[in-house]
Amino acid sequence: MNSIRYRDEDLKLRDGTILKSRIWLPSGKGPWPVLLMRQPYRREIASVVTYAHPSWWASNGYLVVIQDVRGQGGSEGRFSGFSQEASDTSETHYWVRSLPECNGLLGTYGFSYQGFTQLLAEDGTPPPDCMIPAMTGLSENEHWSCEGGAFWWHLGIGWGLQLAAQKAQREEDWEAWYEIRENLESKKYLNNGHELLKKIDPEGMANKWLNLSHRKTPQWKSHKPLDSWLKKPLLLIGGWWDPHLKGILDIFSKAKHAGGDPKLLIGPATHLRWWEEAQRTQLNFFDTHLKEKNKKHLFPQINLWNLTTKNWEISDQKKTPTWILHSEGLASISHQEGSLFPNSNLEADGEVNLVHDPWRPFPAIGGHLSDTPGEVNRFDLDTRPDVAVFTSNPISKDLRLEGIPILSLEAKCDRETFDLFVALSIIPNEIENIVTQISTGVIRISENEINKKSKREIRLQPLLATFKQGDRLRISISGSGWPAIGINPGQSKYLSEGPSPHCLVTTISLLLSKSKLKFESLISS
């Protein structure tokens, strides 16, 4: 890699805006196939938080182009987020293929925002030869800012402040930059970060999404890739603890519907921490589609990491049991009283009252939305009196669960708005103080008719896990998940944010007579 060299080069767009790119060249004589990443975080970084450095890709025979998107890094113009990317991506692709060192073949890679920039282009734009979008999505609501109607508080505010800091840096507003940095490091942003966004970057994506999530009839935008692009070789990468996983599944379904043959890889990853083999898997995919003489690698269509066996498996969606919830009313005061019964002829029964106290909100840990993402032991949380806990008997034989957990039940509340935060966990055989959380989900009820029961359905994060004989399944339900989501004040006129004097004590009654836990297929038909 010592012979790898790079240069910076400009692309002048039709409107006169100049986009800056850094180009890494392999050693020897070209031309070579190109790997392109377009990102808003400066081309020098090149997403090395999750990807190998561009010099590694170049050492494997690729011309690597990392571009600053419009209004970010060294590129000119005003950054306006997703709306700018289709036309800029199209012009960039034409330019990249015109580079003298390019042999005409183009692959794209990148995650999160960099995953999104791979998918949109102007009508008629020739598609890249292959793509590897990772941890991204197309819906600004469900895939980028909210879950179950609740704004991603920690994630949304934190990301918005990162972009606001970049804006302050470009404008040489050092006071604003240091204020943002201090608030992030001290974690004050969890309480006042939205005020900083309103002050420093009011037109930024995160602030707009936050305000939109609080409206009664929000008009969310969802973006549509060209079918001709979705038909090209596509490797989609997701993580079980990544907030964009449902977006990756949606893109997979859209590609199948368009007539493509996409590949899907979901591994043991948070948004920023991936598994070590991910780099070579992507390299093999690029080699297969961009180097004609290379031996073809076989890629299963859907390859999933099993959270409990710690092995890769081919998708095998089979019929799974449906569980009902039961309690005599003590599931929120005794973590051993509530029960889960699979495929039972018994009638689901009972009522459990949860009291959400915003002074000491129930915390979210682990999972895909919290500030401590990943696998976690939630035993201590389940012993709190403000969470309803339902546990199955030991599993009689090994049970493989693949899909999207969906919890349905009736609920009523004494406030006009409230939240239900749900966790699904596994308790290993004969171990009492380990409760391994493997999935979470949330729903925000914003126009509740006070004290009137109604059916609620909470969709949790997708999963694949095998429960061994003797293991137990657990569902935990609370009225908050701070700071993954903001504290619901119980009053629609106030924003769900950090704890504040506007937040009311809220009583939620879980009516179990129509409760059901089921699993839906990972991929919609």
464-517: pLDDT as tens digits: 999 999 999 999 999 999 999 999 999 999 999 999 999 999 999 999 998 999
Work out the percent of the chain whose per-residue pLDDT is above 70. 99
Q: Is 317 domain-assigned?
A: no
pLDDT value of position 75: 95
The answer to whether the CB of 43 falls within 8 A of the CB of 73 is yes
Q: Is the pTM of this model over 0.75?
A: yes
For 406-434, the pLDDT digits (tens) are 999 999 999 999 999 999 999 999 888 99
pLDDT tens per residue across span 210-243: 999 998 888 999 999 999 999 999 999 999 999 9
Q: Which two tokens stand for residue 36?
A: 């392109």
The mean predicted confidence, pLDDT, of the chain is 94
**Same structural domain for residues 388 and 491?**
yes
CB-based contact 74:9 (threshold 8 Å)? no
Contact call for residues 78 and 166 (beta carbons, < 8 A): no
Q: In this structure, are strands 263-270 and 302-305 parallel, antiparallel, or unpaired?
A: parallel
Nearest Cα to Cα of residue 370 among 305, 423, 407: 423
Q: Assess contact for 59 and 114: CB atoms under 8 A.
A: no
Which helix (H) or strand (E) segment holds residue 323: the answer is: strand 323-326
pLDDT at 382: 97
**Among the three residues 191, 213, 235, which one is the final residue of a domain in this structure?**
213
What's the DSSP call for residue 280? H
Instruction: Give the separation between CA 64 and CA 66, rounded to whole angstroms.
Output: 7
Q: Are residues 339 and 470 in the same domain?
A: yes
| φ, ψ (nearest 5 deg) of residue 133 | -75, 135
Q: How many domains does the chain have?
A: 3
- Whether residue 295 has pLDDT greater than 70: no
Assess whether pLDDT exceeds 60 at residue 306: yes
- Let me know if residue 220 belongs to a domain: no
C-alpha dihedral (98, 99, 101, 106), degrees to nearest 10: -60
Is 433 found in the same domain as 346?
yes
Clarify whether residues 126 and 161 are in a common domain.
no
Domain assignment of residue 163, yes or no: yes
> Which of 305, 335, 362 finishes a domain?
305
Q: What is the pLDDT of residue 2?
A: 58
Instruction: Confirm whether 318 is domain-assigned.
Output: no
- Quote the longest CA-to-CA distance of the chain: 75
Q: State the pLDDT confidence band at 297, using cuts at 50, 70 and 90.
A: confident
- CATH of residue 400's domain is 2.60.120.260
CB contact set of 367 (below 8 Å; sequence gap of 6+): 241, 373, 374, 376, 423, 437, 439, 440, 461, 484
Q: Do 158 and 134 fall within a single domain?
A: no
Q: Are 411 and 348 in contact (CB under 8 A)?
A: no
pLDDT at 1 over 60: no
Examine the pLDDT at 345 and tell me if it is beyond 80.
Answer: no
Residue 460 in domain: yes
| Residue 525 binned pLDDT confidence (cut-offs 50, 70, 90) | low
Interval 84-113: pLDDT, tens: 999 999 999 999 999 999 999 999 999 999
On whether both 250 and 130 belong to a single domain, the answer is yes
CB 207 within 8 A of CB 194: yes
Q: Where are the alpha helices (DSSP H) in 105-214?
A: 113-116, 153-170, 174-186, 189-200, 205-213
Q: Which of 442, 405, 389 minimizes the C-alpha distance to 321?
A: 405
| Cα Rg of the chain, angstroms | 24
**239 and 192 within one domain:** no
Instruction: Give the confidence band of 294 by pLDDT, cuts at 50, 70, 90.
Output: low
Residue 322's alpha-carbon distances to 107, 345, 401, 438, in angstroms, are 43, 11, 11, 18
Same domain, 357 and 476: yes
Long-range CB contacts (within 8 A, 24+) of 397-401: 397/469, 398/466, 398/467, 398/468, 398/469, 399/320, 399/321, 399/466, 399/467, 400/316, 400/318, 400/464, 400/465, 400/466, 400/467, 401/320, 401/463, 401/464, 401/465, 401/466, 401/467, 401/519
* Full domain range(s) for residue 206: 146-213
Residues 371 and 499 reside in one and the same domain = yes
